[in-house]
Structure 1
């Protein structure tokens, strides 16, 4: 598969712990990541503050935030977990 599935489900691998979580279409990446990594930081939950930024090691983020610049979004190396999703079936994050 070359993109997240038709219903918007995708996986996130947390590289530091090796945990792999599935993000369903009705939940945010941040909510699911916090179940596996409760210390993951957040604040506004609206994609406006950048507190929940994570480094992308592999995969293609679907940016839905207002924090990252167009250049940063095009680079695809960071993601705002509270609102963004994935264009690829799996994102690998430095968490």
Structure 2
């Protein structure tokens, strides 16, 4: 796991590199609004952490995703609400 780039421009550069190397990617954010913002700014398809956890719970997992971009604003905005969701998502992604 690596720290996230700081700007949408950096995200676009990452996305271009992943595209060039054939990697698939997706984003995980605190909300659907944040997912739309990440997608609009970078072209990285994103969804909320709650949506990812539902998909994982329904046995679809993270199949086909090589890179999972986790919104780096999580700890600053909602640490108490995401305290269980983020570690669980990261643990499942690493499995």
The TM-score bracket by the shorter chain reads under 0.3
Output the TM-score relative to the length of structure 1. Answer: 0.28
Q: Which of the pair is proportionally richer in helix?
A: 2
Structure having greater relative contact order (Cα 8 Å, sep ≥ 6): 1
Output the TM-score relative to the length of structure 2. Answer: 0.28
Q: Which of the pair is proportionally richer in strand?
A: 1
